[in-house]
Structure 1
Amino acid sequence: MYETTPLPPTDKQLTYARAIARKLDVAIPRGSLETRQALSSWIDRHKTRPSVTGTAATSRQVAFAEKLSRLKRRAIPDECFRDAVMMSRWIDANK
């Protein structure tokens, strides 16, 4: 059959991986820097998931979360108020 050599990472991959590593204060393993596929896997494991909406929690979310917070006697993390997706996840976890 055909035998192909693995492709090296692209410049864009390297730049993006280095930015992630810098943000998370982690090192990129040498093995992950050898092939395009290995670096892509490392990036997928370490990139932060972008917010779907990118907006703050809605007033209805906040009201419902505060009601749950009182009933369950659990604090709502501050970052949930800044991100609607995170607030939704907190609500789902505390229903």
Structure 2
Amino acid sequence: MSAPAISESQTALPATAKQLAYARKLAEQQNVVLPWEIQQDRQALSQWIDTQRTTPRVHDTRPSSKQVAFAERIARIKRSAVPDECFRDRNLMSRWIDSNKPR
């Protein structure tokens, strides 16, 4: 007599606590949803993690604190102000700095 067939879902191992914590952190950083079904299977979660790690990160478009400080220092030297829209976009801030740097 042969052994009863075991379905793939019966042999799937549950995800580890470390895996789940890391996947949740990645999901938060990437601003994506971590599907419930994926969280139940160690192998599926591992594949999801690999996919998320190879996906380019969504970067914040706001200027860095160093950019802001440098721009404000330039503005003080030139006795002018940094335009408000530059505080909302990293690229605008970079262009403003490049065009206003003391030479």
TM-score, normalization: structure 1? 0.46
Rg bigger for which structure? Answer: 2
